Amino acid sequence: MPINNPRRRVTVRELDVFVAVADCLSFSKASEQLNISQPSLSATVRNLEDALGARLFDRHTRSVALTPVGHELSLIARQLLTDFDQALGRMSDVIDGKVGVLAIAASPSVMSGFLPGALKEFRKAHPRIEVQLHEEVFEQCIGLLRAEKVEVALTPRKADADDLLQYALFEDRLILVCRNDHPLAQFDSVKWHQIMRYEQIALKTASNVRQLIEQEYQRHGIQAKILYEVERVSSMISFISQGHGVGILPYSLFHAYDRATVTYRVISDGELSRTICASCLKTQSPSPIAESFIRLCIQHGKLKSPIMSQDPFRT
């Protein structure tokens, strides 16, 4: 019969049995080693020979020897079993969240303020995980998540998003930022009517923070005095430090920048805050790595605001 024309796939169990017999050169000893009956072992070897279309052992009254085909299969089978065990070991590491890739999208404020500290803790626990970061504005982060380009998005909570699971991390309160010698710096806290007197350095309109501020101004029926619009918080801080107006930022983000010449004040009336969430898709089971990361983010977020106290993945 042709050797290289198997009629069915060879099983891992058959290779295990074959290698045991090849090592022992004894059916009885191999059956004891594998803790199976000798008739069952013999039947497995016959099935393997039938599948390959070749005799693997020469059986004599008191001895068993490998045929030339058996010698060749012995080398191949050992390598296949080694590769199989290594592959299963890797799968075990993936299931345990020890290896793999985690793609994260984060809005700029979260990327600068919250994520560095959270990732520092995550990398300590998962040093073999490859982390891919995407810094985008709020809506684009959600778009990457929905397109399955990332597995987790860290953004302010999105309203009317029934397709998302959003795990609250902390409340991020908006604060006034001004120079240390600015007139508003003399107060322990400020009110909106005081802020509205001064020109502002504002993030551009795509920013979630900018949208919240404009909603507050509309509520007061006042047009904001925007002196300059900038793309980045670092630019805002630089302009304010040089005396160009005031700004409004999330509290978590302010502390990520140089504060040598600027300070902040709490806004005591009409407080604005955003719930920062770790989001994933309802239709996609999170990987063990993503679960571990979200759990860590929740714990890290408790240091800022104790919103969630239970494990979101525990059933």
SS (H, E, C) 139-185: HHHHHHHHCCCCCEEEEECCCCCCCEEEEEEEEEEEEEEEECCCHHH
Residue 145 has pLDDT above 90, yes or no: yes
Say which CATH number the domain at 33 has: 1.10.10.10
Domain count, the chain: 3
Identify whether residues 176 and 264 lie together within a single domain. Answer: yes
Give the pLDDT of residue 217: 86
Residue 241 lies in a domain: yes
The verdict on 207 and 247 lying in the same domain is: yes
Per-residue tokens: 309: 């106290």
Residue 214's nearest CA partner among 108, 34, 223, 206 is 223
CATH code of the domain covering residue 113: 3.40.190.10
Judge if 280 and 166 occupy the same domain. yes
Residue 153 shares a structural domain with residue 283: yes
Q: Are residues 108 and 87 in the same domain?
A: no
314: in domain:
no
Pairing of the two strands 189-190 and 262-267: parallel
Q: Same domain for 203 and 284?
A: no
CA atoms of 263 and 255, how far apart (whole Å): 10
Is residue 276 within a helix (H) or strand (E), and if so which, with residue range? strand 273-281
Domain that holds residue 244: 172-273
Residues 6+ apart with CB under 8 A from 302: 170, 308, 309
**pTM, full prediction:** 0.64
User: Which three-class secondary structure state does DSSP give residue 68?
Assistant: helix
How far apart CA 180 and CA 31 sit, in angstroms, is: 83
Over residues 194-203, the pLDDT tens digits come to 999 999 999 8
Task: Answer yes or no: is 6 within a domain.
Answer: no
Mean pLDDT over each residue of the chain, to the nearest integer: 86
Instruction: State the CB neighbour count (10 A cutoff) for residue 155.
Output: 25
Whether residue 313 lies inside any domain: the answer is no
Does residue 278 share a domain with residue 165? yes
- Please indicate, yes or no, whether residues 267 and 280 belong to a single structural domain of this protein: no
Whether residues 120 and 204 share a domain: the answer is no
Q: How far apart are CA 24 and CA 93, in angstroms?
A: 33
Report the pLDDT averaged over residues 207-227: 85
CATH number at residue 188: 3.40.190.290
Last residue in a domain, options 94, 125, 159: 94
How far, in Å, CA of 138 to CA of 243, rounded? 29
Question: Is 2 within a domain?
Answer: no
| Residue finishing a domain among 60, 94, 128 | 94
Q: Are residues 154 and 191 in the same domain?
A: no
d(CA 36, CA 249): 70
Taking only the tens place, the pLDDT of each residue in 254-283 is 776 767 889 999 998 877 888 999 999 999
